[in-house]
Amino acid sequence: MTNPWDFDELCRMGAQMLHNEPTGVDFEALLWAIGGVESSHGTFYGPRHEKAYCRGGRYYDRKLTRKHNCMAHCSYGPWQIMYANAVAIKKPITPELMLDPLHALPITVGWMRRVVGRGAITVRDIADAWNSGSHRDSIVPVAYIRKVEKLYRERIDVEF
């Protein structure tokens, strides 16, 4: 897919929407870092099938699957938001709309607010929750967190 939008600009827009969140996190840098890990900074933003959301998986949702088939098992956009999470943020939303990064951005921001609202207020905690669903569970995606932290630091260094 060729992206007709500017990834950096999407990150700036998302950060503007998140400016009131009670953290010391630079959300523009964090969105840039998460998007860097998830989609190579928006290059690969198409749907990605996630086994855990498919039949027999930990997060399988029969109702969403009946309505959208395997599209319900995918993550979307530059930040790879799971469709099941997108539905929790905005109804109605279709998988097809999630293919458009401009539709995915406000849903990404909504999911980020939810993650922060659940107590993830550091880059490490937010990255953990982004990848595993919670920063308080026993699943700690160490390699993922390190990648996000590294890109976050790179972006912060560039900004100053």
All structural domains of the chain, each given as residue ranges with its CATH number in brackets, are 7-159 (1.10.530.10)
CA–CA separation, 92 and 107 (whole Å): 12
Residue of 50, 78, 79 lying closest to 64 (CA atoms): 50
Residue range 8-58, pLDDT digits in tens: 999 999 999 999 898 999 999 999 999 999 999 999 999 999 999 999 999
pLDDT value at 4 more than 90:
no
- Res 2 pLDDT > 60: no
pTM of the model: 0.92
Q: What tokens appear for 116 in the block?
A: 């922060």
Burial class, 68, CB count within 10 angstroms (exposed 0-12 / middle 13-18 / buried 19+): middle
Res 159: pLDDT: 61
Cβ burial 124-155 (10 Å sphere, 16+ → b, else e)? bbbbbbbbbbebeeeeeeeebbebbbebbeeb
- What's the confidence (pLDDT) of residue 138? 81
Residues 80 and 109: their CA atoms lie apart, in Å, by 12
* Tokens at 8, concatenated: 């950096």
- Say if CB 116 and CB 126 are below 8 A apart: yes
Burial 8-32 (b: 16+ CB within 10 A, else e): eebbebbbebbeebeeebbbbbbbb
